[in-house]
Chain A
Amino acid sequence: MARFLDLPAAISEFVKNGETIAMEGFTHLIPFAAGHEIIRQELRDLIAIRLTPDLIYDQMIGAGCIKKLIFSWGGNPGVGSLHRFRDAYQNSWPQKLEIEEHTHAGLTNRYVAGASGLPFAVMRGYLGSDLFHNTSGVKKINSPFNNEVLTAVAAINPDVTIIHAQQSDKLGNIMMWGITGVAKEAVFAAKKVIVTVEEIVDRFSPKFNSIIIPNTQINAIALEPKGAWPSYASGYYERDNSAYIAWDEIAKDRESFLKWLELKVMSIKNSDRNK
């Protein structure tokens, strides 16, 4: 049953060194505040899963939190490369980074299998791509009903999933709307779940395309207004495209990244994150 905690307490209770962690949110509702808290608590050796590592994992990789990255598209959306990811993978800075690479459809189905309590999901995918021979958790499977050869992808069950949602009610049920990506699947696949929210409301009012996750599926809820910035929270604030563009310069070299890390993460409180 969900408990309301502050974010530092939630992270320190539910995220441990070496665990497998999924911080989802596809472009929208990316849990940046939680990522920064993980950096501040100096968690290490995480196996980190996200379809799009985005800036959040670029920052955590640069800060030395991540040992292995499981992902399906590793760029800065609309801008270019993730320089900290590249520097870690190609030059082992600040440490060696292992990768396991998938397609969006493949990783999505791995979460679906995890959420469904199955060992694998079946799909059409990877076949004909060199990725098939350069990843794990992906095998051919014969259809038991006809002659088709399909693809089986292994379930993912993270130790912890962290997402950001627009609202929680007083009972700790959460509601999110707009682009939800694989958030619901990542929650149902996980052993432990932390949700940061923009707002705690008395009662939900139905929103376009909203999904609600009951409090029985959540361990901790932390109130974090603007917790998804510089991504966005539909109904609260827009995506800060200029911050995504600016990240390209900040992350390009190690010194400017380390300066950013000290000034914008290590030496401040979360509430001052976007000031």
Chain B
Amino acid sequence: MVAGRPEWSDEEIMTITAAKILKDKDTCFVGIGIPSTAAILAKAMHAPNLFLIYESGTVNTNPKKLPLSIGDGELANEALSVVGMPEIFNYWLQSGRIDIGFLGAAQIDKFANINTTYIGESYKSPKVRLPGAGGATEIAGACKKVVVILNQTKRSFVNKVDFVTSLGYGQGAGSREAYGLLGGGPSKVITNLGILEPDPKTFELGMTHLHPGVTKEQVRENTGWDVKFSANIQTTAIPEEIELKKIRELYKSSDR
């Protein structure tokens, strides 16, 4: 760390970087964890009109503290409306009303396909069984854009995921169209090392940003494919004091 500069954790820079992507008046479908923290942070900072929907049925909610679960009372109490799940998935998500969907992942591959189902050789006898799809499959299908947030390691960034829970770009160009998916697919992947975006022609994920202090070597060591770097690679903005202060207040307010 450079003297006199604020220090931050991986989770903090991932969350703050994700928050900055969200624009005021976006409609955002949010999951628990970093996605939720990023959305609440964005609303508290630059995007007060961000329209947040959680799959539990809370529409335009404005939580003041971080929920532990997707259906915490805080999310319902602070919502404009609470609706049943058929309405959330059919009327809001499937119909194409969501601008940005936020997803986590256990594994992601070079075409941004997401696995949250299992790690191992086969579905029937997994090495590690994970929670599964939840809302993710249809979020990945229907949102105009999808932002994925996860730590970048050789185990999580793989050439090919063990199981495609949620489709990114399949085998590359044309895959999403072949399945009739109406949403745009993953536009950014935010990690502890930087940001990846799909190549506009091949749809392969490449690094467009490195977080301050992160080297290309570190990225190579932590990626399971021969990852490309964009020609004019940028450095992610340094988290500002005010952002770090706000995010730490949010952490303190919750049962983590």
Give Cα A239 to B181, complex, Å: 37
Q: Does A118 contact B (CB under 8 A)?
A: no
Say yes or no: A124-B141 contact (C-beta < 8 A), given A108-B89, A129-B133, A209-B82: yes
Q: Does A14 contact B (CB under 8 A)?
A: no
Return B204 CB to nearest CB of chain A, in Å.
17
Residues of B within 8 A of A75 (CB): 130-132
Give Cα A111 to B85, complex, Å: 11
Residue interface bits B53-83, CB-to-A below 8 A is 1, else 0: 0011110000000011111110111000111
B85, B138, B141: the one contacting A182 at CB < 8 Å is: B85
Q: Does A217 contact B (CB under 8 A)?
A: no
Residue pair B57, A181 in contact (C-beta under 8 Å):
yes
Say yes or no: A72-B72 contact (C-beta < 8 A), given A26-B57, A90-B126, A128-B167: no
Residue interface bits B171-184, CB-to-A below 8 A is 1, else 0: 00001100111100
Residue pair B84, A103 in contact (C-beta under 8 Å):
no
Chain A, interface size: which category?
35 or more
Q: How many contacting A-B pairs (Cβ < 8 A)? A: 179
Residue interface bits B128-163, CB-to-A below 8 A is 1, else 0: 011111111110011000000000000000000001
Give Cα A274 to B135, complex, Å: 31
Return B144 CB to nearest CB of chain A, in Å.
14
Chain B, interface size: which category?
35 or more
Give Cα A74 to B166, complex, Å: 16
Residue pair B133, A128 in contact (C-beta under 8 Å):
no
Residues of B within 8 A of A81 (CB): 129, 131
Give Cα A179 to B72, complex, Å: 9
Residue pair A108, B126 in contact (C-beta under 8 Å):
no
Residue pair A232, B179 in contact (C-beta under 8 Å):
no
Residue pair A128, B68 in contact (C-beta under 8 Å):
no
Q: Does B164 contact A (CB under 8 A)?
A: yes
Interface centre among B70, B138, B141 (most CB of A within 10 A): B138
Q: Does B90 contact A (CB under 8 A)?
A: yes
Residues of B within 8 A of A123 (CB): 89-90, 94
Q: Does B93 contact A (CB under 8 A)?
A: yes
Residue pair B132, A73 in contact (C-beta under 8 Å):
yes
Nearest CB to that of B57 among chain A residues? A179
Residue pair A124, B142 in contact (C-beta under 8 Å):
yes
Nearest CB to that of B161 among chain A residues? A130
Interface residues in A35-77 (C-beta closer than 8 Å to B): 51-52, 71-75, 77
Interface centre among A73, A129, A242 (most CB of B within 10 A): A129
B69, B123, B182: the one contacting A27 at CB < 8 Å is: B69
Say yes or no: A124-B180 contact (C-beta < 8 A), given A27-B56, A131-B137: yes
Residue pair A239, B76 in contact (C-beta under 8 Å):
no
Residue pair B86, A72 in contact (C-beta under 8 Å):
no
Residue pair A77, B32 in contact (C-beta under 8 Å):
yes
Nearest CB to that of B254 among chain A residues? A241
Residues of B within 8 A of A105 (CB): 89-90, 93-94, 135, 137-138
Q: Does B15 contact A (CB under 8 A)?
A: no
Residues of B within 8 A of A108 (CB): 85-86, 89-90
A51, A74, A127, A234: the one contacting B141 at CB < 8 Å is: A127
Give Cα A125 to B235, complex, Å: 37
Return A3 CB to nearest CB of chain B, in Å.
27
Residue pair A109, B164 in contact (C-beta under 8 Å):
no
Give Cα A232 to B33, complex, Å: 20
Q: Does A120 contact B (CB under 8 A)?
A: no
16 further A-B pairs in the complex, CB-CB below 8 A; given A125-B137, A128-B175, A180-B57: A26-B71, A78-B33, A102-B133, A103-B135, A105-B89, A105-B93, A124-B141, A127-B141, A129-B167, A181-B57, A182-B85, A208-B82, A209-B83, A232-B73, A241-B69, A244-B68
Interface pairs (9), CB distance under 8 Å: A26-B70, A27-B72, A72-B134, A73-B135, A77-B70, A89-B129, A124-B142, A129-B133, A244-B68
Residues of chain A whose beta carbon lies under 8 Å from any beta carbon of chain B: 26-28, 51-52, 71-75, 77-79, 81-82, 85-86, 89-90, 101-106, 108-109, 111-112, 123-131, 134, 148-150, 178-185, 208-209, 211, 232, 234, 238-239, 241-242, 244-245
Residues of chain B whose beta carbon lies under 8 Å from any beta carbon of chain A: 32-33, 55-58, 67-73, 75-77, 81-86, 89-90, 93-94, 117, 123, 125-126, 129-138, 141-142, 163-167, 170, 175-176, 179-182, 255
